[in-house]
Chains A and B, each alone.
Chain A
């Protein structure tokens, strides 16, 4: 070690059991270069993140480099941990929806659905959820899948410098969020799917808007294909990058588009249908390249399939006007007969008249539900749904009380991120962002 490193306050070097480690904080590369001058190995440990724009949120990658080659990659996570699972234990079952929708904020409807399906299994009311509520869940989940894939492609494009891919991705995502706003009242963190159904009926003009959305997307999705599919620069960055074969996927528990990029058409919507997915006509796109390009193409193709499902949902919903969207049991269905009043959104005057003037029983139900919540029989349930990122599992344990005793989410981003070392080690440092983007981790879901 030369004297330079000792005198520079911003770059220190120390010998560890793993070799010499340099701490780099800024404009001190000269010191580092001087420091490793005498060493035979050109090994640098670079800390990428947690605020690097190319790491999908607050992901920290610790890369050990040999020149431009990544020799070791470690993920540091936990920067976005907010203890949602712990907080859920102190809120009632219905309020849990509001919390779990904030986990993976890009595919929140899948979290709400998995959580509510698990509660419904524990309650034993899986078959009593109204058809209309189930179709609305599917509709929202598939719009959500499109918006999530759009962000995956948009940010993935941005990270390799394709800014147009980013801008058009977010442009189309706005259309999805507009639909969410119209149907649920909120653009994100909707907490719209509730145990026993959904919180509100469809607004009257929504199916027309959904049809408009589908028409627009059918025009615009081919733009992505025209822009990217055969783009030489795009392919040069993505093809054969982030390779992970089927054995690697199964060993590491990888699911979703990454698994399907190995050629295995595993999709829970087809294999273990929930919410009536077996009654919809759609295909499961696969690729056998097992690389980032294959995953990009799968996400693109899945958006077309989601559009097909959305069309079928809209068709069914047209024939379901006036049907209930919440389970008939008044001891479970949250009282959400909302209407716009002079002071904003609130319970409708009809509902207030009903509980205050007409039915003592209704008042009791309203009061008990809002103050205490409903009780869920003891036991545990695990429900898995196919989120845009793969198998999203919700493990719920009930002690017979009004709150979840334990709520655990098996988050696909969390699990898939374990593949980052396998995909990046031995490759170029520039390919790290491509490989991580092809995993599409959302740190809100990873850290929960």
Chain B
């Protein structure tokens, strides 16, 4: 973490425990290279990017937060090897998503987190939570996958938590986050208390099993089938885990990052335009 950047903005606490030496913003890669290494750091863009207009009332200060590196990208435009004339071949960018947040989380987050921890402790699951992330005004509970059903059961049934409405599950694939390539993200809504939380579970690609929460939230029946269809996450205990959008005999899971988009090159005014997933892109 650079000292200078925190001095520039004393009002905002610096994110803790950042890996340093890597620019987060390749837009400014030239100026980043000119800077001393200590000044290059991964940071939440809202903390250091002047292009983001800060509102008159920024609200409560963002809590202290780690960053979790989920991917490292090299170069630019997909160019590789000696044929790389882009000039960006030395560029290295770490993709770091917001990591564990330190207390206080702010607002009702603390009360909800306290209650959940207390309930889990009393039901003999003190280690069910991996971490809690607060980012952009949303709270995420990262849950150990083998404890998922017990945790959501408590989230639904405890009168002080009472997340009776589940908005389904969404998958995310981080192919380079070793051991946790596949994420299942649940959005829960408490109509009683008018709150929303997110529950996130990960599983490795080699063992893509996550317990099904259909017994707690029957609405997740189709959502889990969809996530299985697109990401290949096997929801153990689901009543009938079959494909839902793709044909039954479809090979592969289309929303994984290593699954190609497909498409054909198109000629336009004499030039061949490659399909979208093979065009150059900003990495």
Residues of A with Cβ closer than 8 Å to B? 77-78, 81, 83, 85-87, 89-91, 121-128, 250-255, 266, 271-272, 327-329, 331, 372-373, 375, 377-382, 384, 391, 393, 395, 397, 399-403, 405-406, 408, 410, 414-415, 417-418, 447-448
Contacts and interface: CB of A to CB of B under 8 A. Distances in A.
B245 A379 contact: no
A418 B219 CA distance: 7
A253 B27 CA distance: 42
B52 A124 contact: yes
Contacts of A405: 172
Given A250-B165, A375-B27, A124 B46 contact: yes
B31 interface: no
Main secondary structure of the interface of A (DSSP, over half): loop
Contacts of A375: 25, 27, 45
Interface stretch (B2-10, B95-103, B265-273): B95-103
Given A121-B136, A372-B282, A418-B221, A329 B24 contact: no
B64 to A, nearest CB: 16
B53 A403 contact: no
Contacts of B25: 375, 400
B187 A331 contact: no
Contacts of B56: 127
Contacts of A384: 167, 187, 189, 196
B18 interface: no
B172 A406 contact: yes
21 contacts: A78-B243, A78-B247, A85-B255, A86-B255, A121-B136, A251-B219, A252-B219, A254-B219, A329-B51, A329-B53, A375-B25, A377-B44, A378-B24, A380-B198, A381-B138, A399-B97, A400-B25, A400-B95, A406-B172, A406-B255, A415-B222
B122 interface: no
B37 interface: no
Contact of A378 (B96, B164, B226): B96
A272 B137 CA distance: 14
Nearest to A376: B45
B168 A410 contact: yes
A377 B46 contact: yes
Interface in B155-206: 164-168, 170-173, 185, 187, 189, 191, 194, 196, 198
Contacts of A253: 165-168, 217-220
Contacts of A124: 45-46, 52, 54, 136
Given A382-B198, A406-B171, 18 more contacts: A87-B276, A124-B45, A124-B46, A253-B167, A253-B220, A272-B194, A329-B52, A378-B24, A378-B95, A379-B44, A379-B136, A380-B138, A395-B185, A406-B255, A408-B171, A410-B168, A418-B219, A448-B245
B187 A382 contact: yes
Nearest to A271: B194
B167 A393 contact: yes
A377 B167 contact: no
Given A253-B168, A253-B219, A414-B222, A379 B53 contact: no
Interface residues of B, number: 64
A125 B53 contact: yes
B111 interface: no
Contacts of B281: 90, 402-403
Contacts of B70: 399
B261 to A, nearest CB: 5
Nearest to A332: B51
Nearest to B255: A86
Contacts of B54: 124
B145 interface: no
A89 B255 CA distance: 9
B53 A128 contact: yes
Nearest to A417: B222
A261 to B, nearest CB: 16
A128 B52 CA distance: 10
Contacts of B95: 378, 399-400
Nearest to B198: A382
A375 B51 CA distance: 11
A328 B245 contact: no
Most chain-A Cβ atoms within 10 A of its Cβ — which of B53, B220, B226? B53
B136 A378 contact: no
A77 B245 contact: yes
B143 to A, nearest CB: 16
Contacts of A251: 217-219
Contacts of A380: 97, 135, 138, 140, 172, 185, 198
B254 interface: yes
Contacts of B170: 395, 406, 408, 410
Contacts of A272: 194, 196
Interface string B221-235: 111001000100000
A185 to B, nearest CB: 24
A115 B220 CA distance: 22
A370 to B, nearest CB: 13
Given A86-B254, A380-B185, A382-B138, A391 B55 contact: no
B283 interface: yes
Contacts of B96: 378, 400
A128 B55 contact: yes
Contacts of A86: 254-255, 261
Nearest to B194: A271
A123 B255 contact: no
A391 B187 CA distance: 12
B53 to A, nearest CB: 5
Nearest to A416: B219
A447 B95 CA distance: 31
B247 to A, nearest CB: 7
B52 A266 contact: no
B153 to A, nearest CB: 14
B258 interface: no
Given A379-B136, A395-B170, A81 B187 contact: no
Contact of B98 (A329, A378, A401, A410): A378
B34 interface: no
A329 to B, nearest CB: 5
Most chain-A Cβ atoms within 10 A of its Cβ — which of B54, B138, B222? B222
B1 interface: no
B138 to A, nearest CB: 7
Contacts of A447: 245
Contacts of A87: 261, 276
Nearest to A253: B219
B246 interface: yes
